[in-house]
Amino acid sequence: MLGIESSCDDTAAAVVTSDGRVLGEAIAGQAAIHAPYGGVHPALASQAHAAAIDRVVADALSRAGLSQHDLSAVAVTVGPGLSLCLDVGVRKARAVSRAAALPLVPVHHMEAHTLVARLAGLAAHAASGGDGGGVLRDGEPAPAFPFLCLLVSGGHNLLVVVRGVGDYLQLGSTLDDALGEAYDKVARMLGLELNPHGGAALEAAARLGDASRYALSVPMQKHANCDFSFAGLKTGVRLCIESELPPEGDPGRQQAVADIAASFQSVATQHLCQRVRRGIGWARDSLQGGSSAGSGGSSNSSSSSSSSSDGGSGSGLDGSAAALRHLVVAGGVASNQYIRQQLAQVAEAAGLQLVVPPARWCTDNGVMVAWAGIERYRLGLYQPPLGPLQLAAGEEQEWVDLRPRWPLTAEKHGGSTPQVRSSKAASSMARSLTDETRDALATLGSAAAGEAEEATRLAGGGAGAERQWASTKTAAGEAGVGAASCL
């Protein structure tokens, strides 16, 4: 599977096999281009993707020692992301698919971040990468469904129960900034290097700092749910900088920068850990058939009084709740070693195993898109290649849609903060991945059932007809005549 990613500021591609071997990968980052703007500049990002995409895909293929004609399929991120950027990757994927008559797998960016934790052989990859990833030991199986996933990137901050491919229950989301965005903004306020991201620079500064020197408040203490908020913490950091940071040239400035970075990181991580601890309880309740999983956050039932909602060690859980064995942390911020260590303790206390992809597959990359593509392809969730007639009729444009705004799921835990969305915003929101996947699987299931029914009808129906049809087909085959003429 060739995977192509261009949703934000990394142009990436990789070739991955269904047994998890990464045959070749390539990436072109754009951090230097965007650094002066304090965020991703969409038009410049799109131009940079366009300039890089052919080379990145060619490099991934040549490192794999393959040509596009050796591939089985192409997966591409179709959303969420910047449409000008997504468009570049999708055009390239269409072109490869057309040239080699390959099926195309549309991929949700956040699902790719999530599912890469299931890449076969992840532990071995982490060990060979030597970047401290892979809390799984070599030989341990990848997380099976269901698992709890904390998705922390520059644009998203979600806590979800992953019940299957394209099947998510949202326990919590951010009410304002995503944690990666907060890291980037705080790094900027502290005057740290923003290349490749503010996050890594802030983590490095925090390593030299004293987290207890400045008191910042842990967000949302009055909200006993799993939602996140980083806007107040960011303001706290700004006020702290204004009142406490010595001026440029002052010998104490560097240490103060490190101390503020450490305080921010410590408080942000306490917030994450608190939400995840509660989320483990909520996840177990929802898997146990608890009443608090609701659609659209309308039922405001609280699960805080129920048996496992404290994220305890899992004793007394019934079979379905005990099936929850892993906490996956994914997205760019998951490459942060301090956050990993703290969440490892939360997971251990609750009897879960923490799984974090190697750092290079936490930030945007082609491997995660290829692997999500493999998971979806296995279920039949792909577009077959267009035939010459469809190409001639100009159907290529509608073949794979871009989804700049594409929620993972509309199914929210009943305890989440109700979201007030304007009707305009709500109507511009695409259907969720979870709803679409459910419908697509139902259609595929009924198509398969239809085929079986047709087979039964041809065989004359009745008990044992399927076996009869199979043996008739064999007999027909041996006799060199078609099954239909035989019946």
Q: Of the listed pieces 29-37, 153-161, 221-229, 346-354, which binds ligand KG4 according to CB under 6 A?
A: 153-161
Q: Does 112 bind ligand KG4 (CB under 6 A)?
A: no
C-alpha closest to that of 175 among 435, 421, 425: 421
Q: Does 111 bind ligand KG4 (CB under 6 A)?
A: no
Q: Which does 184 bind (CB under 5 to 8 A by kind): Zn ion, ligand KG4, none?
A: ligand KG4
Compute the least distance from the CB of residue 56 to ligand KG4, in Å. Answer: 16
C-alpha closest to that of 189 among 251, 265, 249, 245: 245
Q: At residue 468, what are phi and psi to the nearest 5 degrees?
A: -60, -40
Of 167, 285, 364, 411, the one binding ligand KG4 (CB under 6 A) is: 364
Q: CB–CB of 241/189 below 8 Å? A: yes
Q: At residue 123, what are phi and psi to the nearest 5 degrees?
A: -60, -40
Which CB, 308 or 409, lies closer to ligand KG4?
A: 409
Burial class (CB in 10 A: 0-12, 13-18, 19+), 166: buried
Q: Of the listed pieces 132-140, 196-204, 284-292, 451-459, which binds ligand KG4 according to CB under 6 A?
A: 196-204
Q: How far is CA 137 from CA 14, 142, 442, in A?
A: 24, 10, 37
Q: Of the listed pieces 25-33, 90-98, 147-155, 317-325, which binds Zn ion according to CB under 5 A?
A: 147-155
Which CB, 180 or 281, lies closer to ligand KG4?
A: 180
Of 30, 77, 153, 365, the one binding Zn ion (CB under 5 A) is: 153
Compute the least distance from the CB of residue 373 to ligand KG4, in Å. Answer: 17
Q: Does 184 bind ligand KG4 (CB under 6 A)?
A: yes
CA 402 to chain centre: 17
d(CA 231, CA 174): 10
Residues 423-462 that bind ligand KG4 (CB under 6 A): none
Q: Does 5 bind ligand KG4 (CB under 6 A)?
A: no
Compute the least distance from the CB of residue 160 to ligand KG4, in Å. Answer: 15
Q: CB–CB of 261/294 below 8 Å? A: no
The partner residues of 147 in beta bridges, in order of sequence, read 162
Q: Does 200 bind ligand KG4 (CB under 6 A)?
A: yes
Beta strands in 165-252 (DSSP E): 167-173
Compute the least distance from the CB of residue 10 to Zn ion, in Å. Answer: 8
Which residues here bind Zn ion, judged by CB under 5 A?
153, 364
